[in-house]
């Protein structure tokens, strides 16, 4: 397993050891002991699986009071995955990080508590899997507008009217008006 710290401190790109043979491939997507030995000591409370079609954009989501750390990956397809630093005391507050996660690179992203998260679907279909360190609590969930000019994410599509969004995500708020915790 290779673990690479990214330019936004706390964000880790994890490349597992993949074993291929004539049947296909295998890798451990989570092993508490192995991750702990690599100083990744997380306790996960929830596993989630979403399926999306090409052009869907989900995000940018975070929870106040019960922030969730997320270990995210793609089981089928490919996405452009984005995390935005919302840690009030961070020198990177408001900055974003993006990476392509796919069923070809098998990479996982660790997004610590205190970040907003979202992704854009590049393939015809995507199965997106993630573990979270805290429970989903809709009353505490908040959504920052995916195209907030103050965050200025360089999404990998040209026509900014094109993504398929939920009503909630269409009504996301601007970072400057967002509730940030802590
Ligand atoms: C996230 C979530 C949703 N739901 C329900 C609520 C709703 O009826 C339905 C779809 O919810 P959403 O539209 O919020 O799903 P979605 O837009 O996929 O939300 C997710 O987006 C990505 C970017 C994240 O980072 C996740 O933490 C999560 O916020 O599923 C749960 O029951 N448990 C959960 O943990």
Taking the centre of ligand 1 as the mean of its atom positions, its distance from the CA of residue 15, in whole angstroms, is 25
Q: Of ligand 1's atoms, which has the minimum distance to the CA of residue 141? A: 29
Ligand 1 pocket test target in 44, 48, 108, 165 with most atoms within 8 Å of CB? 48
Tell me: pLDDT of 182 over 70: no
- What is the structure's pLDDT at 29? 96
Q: Of ligand 1's atoms, which has the minimum distance to the CA of residue 68? A: 27
The strand pair at 78-85 and 96-102 is best described as antiparallel
- What is the structure's pLDDT at 180? 87
Which residues are within 8 A (CB) of 61 and not within 5 positions of it... i.e. 6 or more apart? 116, 117, 118, 141, 142, 143
Separation CA 116–CA 86 (nearest Å)? 7
- What is the structure's pLDDT at 160? 60
Fill in the DSSP letter of residue 57.
E
Per-residue pLDDT reduced to its tens digit, 128-144: 999 999 999 999 999 99
Average pLDDT rounded to a whole number, residues 61-84: 97
Structure tokens at 181: 């915790």
The per-residue pLDDT of the chain, averaged, comes to 95
Ligand 1 pocket test target in 136, 144, 166 with most atoms within 8 Å of CB? 136
> In the chain, where are the structural domains located?
2-20+29-177
Q: Of ligand 1's atoms, which has the minimum distance to the CA of residue 132? A: 27
**80 pLDDT band (50/70/90 cuts)?**
very high
Tell me: pLDDT of 155 over 90: yes
Dihedral sign of CA atoms 137, 138, 142, 144 in order:
positive
Cα separation values, 166 from 37, 48, 96, 143, Å = 39, 18, 21, 11
Decide: 94 and 85 in contact? Cβ < 8 Å.
yes
Indicate the CATH number for domain 2-20+29-177: 2.60.120.10
Separation CA 3–CA 177 (nearest Å)? 34
Ligand 1 pocket test target in 11, 45, 59 with most atoms within 8 Å of CB? 59
Residue 126 φ/ψ, nearest 5 degrees: -140, 140
Ligand 1, residues at Cβ distance < 6 Å: 48, 50, 58-59, 61, 117-119, 136, 166, 168
Taking the centre of ligand 1 as the mean of its atom positions, its distance from the CA of residue 141, in whole angstroms, is 9
Tell me: pLDDT of 173 over 90: yes
**123 pLDDT band (50/70/90 cuts)?**
very high
Separation CA 141–CA 143 (nearest Å)? 7
CA angle (119, 125, 130) in 5-degree steps = 50
Tell me: pLDDT of 181 over 80: no
ipTM above 0.90 for this complex: yes
Average pLDDT rounded to a whole number, residues 51-57: 97
Average pLDDT rounded to a whole number, residues 35-56: 95
Tell me: pLDDT of 102 over 80: yes
Average pLDDT rounded to a whole number, residues 87-97: 95
Give the residue numbers annotated as catalytic, written as ranges: 61, 130
Residue 57 φ/ψ, nearest 5 degrees: -125, 120
């Amino acid at each position: 397993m290779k673990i690479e710290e990214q330019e936004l401190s706390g964000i880790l790109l994890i490349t597992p050891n993949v074993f291929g043979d004539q049947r296909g491939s295998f890798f451990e997507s989570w092993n508490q002991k192995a991750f702990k030995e690599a100083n990744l000591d997380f306790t996960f409370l929830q596993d989630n699986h979403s399926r999306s079609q090409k052009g869907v954009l989900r995000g940018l989501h975070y929870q106040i009071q019960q922030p969730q750390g997320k270990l995210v990956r793609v089981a089928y397809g490919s996405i452009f995955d984005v995390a935005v630093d919302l840690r009030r005391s961070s020198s990177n507050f408001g900055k974003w990080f993006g990476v392509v996660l796919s069923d070809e690179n098998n990479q996982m992203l660790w997004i610590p508590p205190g970040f907003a998260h979202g992704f854009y679907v590049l393939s015809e279909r995507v199965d997106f899997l993630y573990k979270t360190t805290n429970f989903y609590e809709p009353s505490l969930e908040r959504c920052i507008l995916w195209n907030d000019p103050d965050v200025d994410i360089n999404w990998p599509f040209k026509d900014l009217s094109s993504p398929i969004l939920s009503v909630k995500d269409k009504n996301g708020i601007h970072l400057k008006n967002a509730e940030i915790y802590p």
